[in-house]
Amino acid sequence: MPAVLNSASPLCSSHLLKPIRHDDNAARAQRYKTLTGKMAAHQQGAGLAPTAAEFGQWKEDAAFELVMRRLQASLSIAA
């Protein structure tokens, strides 16, 4: 059975989530910019393809963003 985080919990209030979301926001944005730059360069024949680790990090970043947005919208999270 999947674990479900209850977004009605006081731990999920938006004033508690903002610092968590903001702390790593610049790093996530930079990783995304780097990944898309590498993808574009590779498609144009001017660089190497992104690594599997870079795609894996992007996947984790996207999942984190999805969870944070659902929590801020007071939706439940199935993990």
pLDDT tens-digit readout, 22-73: 667 888 999 999 999 999 999 999 999 999 999 999 999 999 888 888 887 8
Rounded CA-CA distance 10/3 in Å is 18
pTM above 0.75, yes or no: no
Provide Rg for the chain, Cα atoms.
16
Provide the domain limits for residue 44. Answer: 4-78
Q: Kindly report the backbone phi and psi dihedral angles of residue 76, in degrees, each rounded to the nearest multiple of 5, phi listed first.
A: -80, 155
Instruction: Let me know: does 58 contact 28? Beta carbons within 8 Å.
Output: no
The structural domain count of the chain equals 1
